[in-house]
Amino acid sequence: MDVTTPASDPWLIVGLGNPGPEYAMNRHNVGFMVVDLLAERIGGKFKRAGKAQAQVLEGRIGPVGPASRRVVIVKPTSYMNLSGGPVNALRDFYKVPVANIVAVHDELDIDYGVLRLKLGGGDNGHNGLKSMTKAMGADYHRVRFGIGRPPGRMQVADFVLKDFSSAERKELDYFVDRAADAVECLLAEGLERAQSTYNS
Give the sign of the dihedral formed by CA 139, CA 121, CA 57, CA 62. negative
Distance of CA 48 to the CA centre of its chain: 18
- Tell whether the model's pLDDT for residue 110 goes beyond 70: yes
pLDDT band at 192 (very low <50, low <70, confident <90, very high): very high
Contacts of 173 (CB under 8 A, 6+ apart): none
- Tell whether the model's pLDDT for residue 59 goes beyond 80: yes
Given this model, what pLDDT does residue 49 score? Answer: 86
105 belongs to the catalytic site: no
Report the b/e string of 113-140 with b at 16+ CB within 10 A.
bbbbbebeeebeebbbbbbbbebbeeeb
Half-sphere exposure of 9 (CA within 13 A, CB side): 17
pLDDT tens-place string over residues 119-136: 999 999 999 999 999 999
Given this model, what pLDDT does residue 1 score? Answer: 39
Q: Tell me the pLDDT of the chain averaged across its residues.
A: 93
3 state DSSP class of 70: strand
- Predicted structure pTM score: 0.94
186/116 Cα distance (integer angstroms): 12
Report the b/e string of 84-109 with b at 16+ CB within 10 A.
bbbbbbbbeebebbbbbbbbbbbbbe
- Tell whether the model's pLDDT for residue 5 goes beyond 90: no
pLDDT tens-place string over residues 66-86: 678 999 999 999 999 999 999
Taking phi over 0 as left and psi of -120 to 50 as alpha, with beta for the rest, 125 belongs to: left
With beta carbons less than 8 A apart as the criterion, state whether 143 and 118 touch. Answer: no
Q: Which residue out of 28, 105, 126, 141 is catalytically annotated?
A: 28
- Give 186's DSSP letter: H
